[in-house]
Amino acid sequence: MFADATFGGGASFADAVFIGSALFQASAKAPENRRFSYVGFNGAEFRGSCSFENREFSTTASFANATFHDVAGFHGCKFHQGISFFGTKFLATRGADDEKTEELERAYRTLKLAMENLRARNEEARFFALEMECHRQRGDVPRLERAFASLYKQVSEYGQSISRPLVFLFVSLGAFALLYWITGMLTNPWLLLVQGQFLYDLAILTLEQLVKPFSVWTRSSSSAQLSLVKSNPLLVPIFASFQSAFNLSLIAVFLLALRRRFKMD
């Protein structure tokens, strides 16, 4: 549509709607047409695929609040530091088949690498999340890898969220405390006769797996001395080990997201 086109001092496609494919790419045969002066696509909507391949954005360019429904091709582009993807929506993460999904994955990888070169960390994380989501939805990816990717998505939105891992951590404390309470009730109902002591045991067992992972297997630890553990010397420590592993995973994801958010090279 606009392949190899030049736009004088600048061009604005604000709020434009592109129904079919929107082609703005520059060919290798016309390198003099690579450069864009100012170009704005604020609020534009690309309902089909679009291509800006091999273009050079020599001044500020804006895709703020634009919407991409299909592949957004920016392979081979050179970006100005002032380029804006503020509020831009990239809706496609799965194609008609694995090949199309992999094409989307490559498109987001290109944008991720471009933002990495510009040290735009938040945008880099955003395109990394889109790349990972495309990869997760490919049918040729092993199921175990897809399962871990799904967990990573739910727990931290692929490292974009700092708060989600902490929310899951506190929810898990309550969930495991409930699990220990059910275990004690089913295996040793007499423990419930001393209600205050039993609740204290639950608190110690649950919290110690957070601050001292896997300590339940150590005889000298506080949790190992609890009546609940002594009356279930195998089952409760196994549950506690799962809790410790889950806690460590959430803390690792939290630290990774924190580092990504505030990383500075």
Q: 190: exposed, middle or buried (C-beta count within 10 Å: 0-12, 13-18, 19+)?
A: exposed
Mean pLDDT for the stretch of residues 22-33: 79
Mean pLDDT for the stretch of residues 200-216: 90
Residue % of the chain over a pLDDT of 90: 66
Q: Give the pLDDT score at 126.
A: 95
Phi/psi-derived region of residue 91, left when phi > 0, alpha when psi is between -120 and 50, beta in every other case: alpha
| Structure tokens belonging to residue 185 | 């009730």
Tell the residue number behind the tokens 């500020």, with chain if given: 60
**pLDDT band, residue 36 (cuts 50/70/90):** confident
Cα separation, 216 vs 19, in Å, equals: 62
Q: Which positions ≥6 away from 211 have C-beta within 8 Å?
A: none
Does the structure show a pLDDT above 70 at 192?
A: no
Q: Which positions ≥6 away from 162 have C-beta within 8 Å?
A: 156, 254, 257, 258, 261
pLDDT (tens digit, 9 = 90+) per residue, 37-51? 888 999 999 999 999
Query: Mapping DSSP to helix (H, G, I), strand (E, B) and coil, where does residue 169 land?
Result: helix
> What's the length of the chain?
265
**pLDDT band, residue 152 (cuts 50/70/90):** very high
Q: Give the pLDDT score at 171.
A: 95
Q: Give the pLDDT score at 194.
A: 60
Q: Give the pLDDT score at 193.
A: 57
Mean pLDDT for the stretch of residues 130-147: 95
Does the structure show a pLDDT above 80 at 195?
A: no
pLDDT (tens digit, 9 = 90+) per residue, 56-92? 998 888 999 999 999 999 999 999 999 999 999 999 9
- The whole-chain average pLDDT of the chain stands at 89
Q: Is the distance from CB of 223 to CB of 205 less than 8 angstroms? A: yes
Q: Which positions ≥6 away from 95 have C-beta within 8 Å?
A: 101, 102, 103, 104
